[in-house]
Amino acid sequence: MKKIILLFTILAFTFSSLQSQNADLGQIHGNFQMDAQLYNNDSLIGANVPSEKMGLNSYANFNYTRGKFNAGIRYEGYFPALNGFDAKNNGVGIPYKYASYTSEDLTVTVGNFYEQFGNGLVLRVYEDKALDYDYALEGVKLNYKPYKGVYIKAVYGKQRYYWNTGTGLVRGIDGEFAINDIIEKLADKKTKLTLGGSFVSKYQADKDPIYKLPENVGASAARINLYRGKFSLTGEYAYKINDPSGVNDKIYKPGEALIVNATYSQKGLGIYASAKRVDNMSFQSDRNADGKDLNINSLPDITKTHSYALLAMYPYAIQPNGEIGFQAEVIYKIKKKSLLGGKYGTTIDVNYSRVHNIQETQINDTIAIGESGSLGYNSNFFEFSKEVFFSDLNIEISRKFNKKVKATVVYQNLVFNNSVFNNGNYHKTIYSDVAIADITYKFTSRKALRTEMQWLRTNQDKGEWGMLMLEYSMPHWFFSVWDMYNYGNPEENKQVHYYYGAVGYINKANRIQIGYGRQREGVICAGGVCRYVPASNGLSVSITSSF
């Protein structure tokens, strides 16, 4: 295998050098990312220094394209992995390599690949390096377009598990049918309809001495996408047969998931609403894997992902064993040159999301809810449990006052069930309010000073926080300093200043950032998928580059 990789790399670079002499030899593109941190001991915030004193994560992609042929590799190196990343990452190699070609209406991919069926309820294999996830499949993928408006995908392979593949096998097929393309007389209709269906099956041998485990577990889904003018309505329902696993504590209840999204948009107004129900829908190619490993599917998030530090203090993590909730968002732009809108207009964004546990009742008097080796529980499809997992009301108002000054203010009211999200600091439910002011002053068209003032109030967990950040940007450079101060921590000796300073240099496709200071313990999430980040103190260097 190593020889193949070496040969592939030599070929790729040979093509690259020849490319400068002859344009017909195709193209090579790629990118590089490196994140390194030198750690200091800081007992006040619980920051530890690994034996190696520092950590380094690095990645580089090289992709070659010539006509209908594509091939690529990804290098990865962890020396060792940064704190908070799984130590199983430690090592160096080329874990991702693929080749693909298209012939007529069929595209064949072999090697490693990512894929998503519909909304991902039964299959979404993807990677997110920041979250320490890589669910790539290794095997064969076919994309086929037999008729106009008909798209078929089939995948067959094993999933990546750090430097190996997982024990289970994944097989899947998906069909999507663009009705307006298939039926010619509907081609010009204003209403556009697309239907889709997926089936995914996994195989894993049963070696359990106590439980009778299904070796082949199938999941299927049906979806609809409907568009008409300013309206859209999309939905998907998925069903999975019995799949006892570590994550669901070995219950044999079938799994279900439903997601519905509706949008309306016109100039100056956008309305978005979504609803979701998930019941026992964790789907992994190894039933004994940790919850974050070897996931075949992904259950979409219906809460807003925040970027401001204190808004993101208590982020939502998807609960695959059961959750029911909704989200609604209205974005309205008050007209320019109006009394309320001001000279440049004002944008108001109101977002509300709420997620509960699903309602669960005992199957009978003798079996506890969720008891291993049983059907688990009964649950009415549309009923909300009284247990609130998460609720987030946030209002954001942005306004440009003049050519030099623009500002954004945000208010958030949050309810966060910490006993569910289990982020290491147990308090049953956290109620918080956050207020933020973000003001940018432009000295010239390319030089600006941005100031963030943030405040978080809560009586639970670590109490109140305040944060001040200053960021100056100019051509090629930016400088930022901040202090996040946990002045309300009920333990006085933990009322800590988390100060941090960073300098960044950007030149076309290259970006270098150097930072120094304290970073708080917390959880980072994207799309409801989260990673625990331990507290740290030290010097960090980040480089990204592409060609």
CA distance 259 to 234: 8
Alpha-carbon distances of 110 from 70, 97, 157, 281, 422, rounded to whole Å: 11, 9, 10, 29, 39
44 interacts with other proteins by CB under 8 A: no
d(CA 491, CA 461): 10
Binder to other proteins among 185, 339, 365, 426 (CB under 8 A)? 426
Stretch that binds other proteins, among 4-12, 179-187, 236-244, 269-277 (CB under 8 A): 236-244
Residue from the set 73, 136, 173, 434 that interacts with other proteins by CB under 8 A: 173
Q: Residues 289-308: x/- map of binding to other proteins (CB under 8 A)?
A: xx------------------
Cβ 286 to other proteins, closest distance in Å? 8
- Rule CB under 8 A: say whether 209 interacts with other proteins: yes
Spell out the SS3 assignment of 284-322. Answer: ECCCCCCCCCCECCCCCCCCCCCCCCCCCCCCCCCCCCE
List Cα–Cα distances, 40 to 48, 483, 495, 501, 520, in angstroms. Answer: 7, 18, 19, 15, 14
Distance CA 46, CA 486 (A): 14
Which has the closest alpha carbon to 115: 261, 237, 296?
A: 296
Query: Between residue 493 and residue 532, which ones bind other proteins under the rule CB under 8 A?
Result: 532
Choose one: 21-29, 216-224, 275-283, 296-304; the region binding other proteins (CB under 8 A): 216-224
Selected range binding other proteins among 15-23, 62-70, 165-173, 329-337, rule: CB under 8 A = 165-173
Looking only at residues 91 through 120 of this chain, which bind other proteins when binding is defined by CB under 8 A? Answer: 104-106
Residues forming beta bridges with residue 78, ordered by sequence position: 57, 91
Query: Which of these ranges, 122-130, 241-249, 439-447, 535-543, lies near other proteins under the rule CB under 8 A?
Result: 241-249
Output 82 or 289, the one with its CB closest to other proteins: 289
Q: How many Å is the Cα radius of gyration of the chain?
A: 25
Cβ atoms of 261 and 274 closer than 8 Å:
yes
Tokens read off for 34: 């490196």
DSSP notation for 514-536: EEEEEE--EEEEETTEEEEE--E
Q: Which stretch binds other proteins (CB under 8 A): 54-62, 210-218, 326-334, 401-409?
A: 210-218
As a whole number of angstroms, the distance between CA 137 and CA 158 comes to 5
The yes or no reply on residue 1 touching other proteins (CB under 8 A) is: no
CB of 36 to other proteins, least distance (A): 21
Contact pick of 91, 149, 246, 345 for other proteins (by CB under 8 A) = 246
| Binding mask of the shown chain, residues 263 to 292, with x at each position contacting other proteins by CB under 8 A | -----------------------xxxxx--
Cβ of residue 291: shortest distance to other proteins, in angstroms?
A: 8
Q: In sequence order, which residues have a C-beta less than 8 Å from that of residue 89 and are 6 or more positions away?
A: 57, 76, 78, 80, 81, 132, 162
Give the start-end residues of each E strand in 162-190. Answer: 164-165, 169-178
Task: Please say which residue, 262 or 533, places its beta carbon nearer to other proteins.
Answer: 533
Q: Pick one of 231, 269, 340, 424: the residue that binds other proteins (CB under 8 A).
A: 424
Query: By the criterion CB under 8 A, which residues form the site for other proteins?
Result: 86-88, 104-106, 142, 144, 146, 152, 154, 161, 164, 167, 171-173, 199-201, 203, 207-218, 241-242, 244-246, 249-250, 252, 286-290, 357, 368-370, 372-375, 387, 419-420, 422, 424-426, 428, 532
